[in-house]
Copies of this chain bind each other. A is one copy, B any other.
Amino acid sequence: MNELKLVGCCRPLGSAALSEDEAEATAALFRVLSAPARVKIVNLLSTRDQPVCACEFEPTLELSQPTVSHHLKKLTDAGLLEREQRGRWAFFALAPSAAERLRSLVEMQELVA
């Protein structure tokens, strides 16, 4: 259950002693965001307060439908997006916890003091 692991994971980078599993889970979340198309999807969704139809991403990102679906699935599996089926189309929104999770991930308390 890679998905659950990612959702439940991720102590901040600045935590005292990151275990092997925690470092892997944190790296995996960064890996999900290491593709420009996925950054753009998160970027687009962060400016919308309503779920966005999968059909909107294809023209916006100038990518084929299978490629867009692949990126949306990666982001959803990582728990960053929520997916809702409406008739023939899936709609996507940022998961409510996404912003907070990403923020806490890069929090380095020792540095902020």
Binding site for B on A (CB under 8 A): 13-16, 18, 20, 23-24, 26-28, 30-31, 33-40, 42-43, 46-47, 49, 94, 98-99, 102-103, 105-108, 110-112
A112 and B103 alpha carbons, distance in the complex (Å): 11
B46 close to A111 (CB less than 8 A): yes
Contact B99 A108 (CB under 8 A): yes
Q: What's the number of copies of this chain in the assembled complex? A: 2
CB-defined contacts of A40 to chain B, threshold 8 Å: 18, 23
Q: A34-B31, A106-B106 are in contact. Are A23 and B39 (CB under 8 A)?
A: yes
Tell me if B94 and A99 are in contact (CB < 8 A): no
Provide a sorted-by-A list of 20 A–B residue pairs whose CB atoms are within 8 angstroms: A13-B46, A15-B43, A16-B47, A18-B40, A18-B43, A26-B36, A27-B34, A27-B36, A27-B39, A30-B30, A30-B31, A42-B108, A46-B108, A98-B108, A99-B106, A103-B103, A103-B106, A103-B107, A105-B106, A106-B106
Cα–Cα distance between A42 and B107 once the two chains are bound (Å): 11
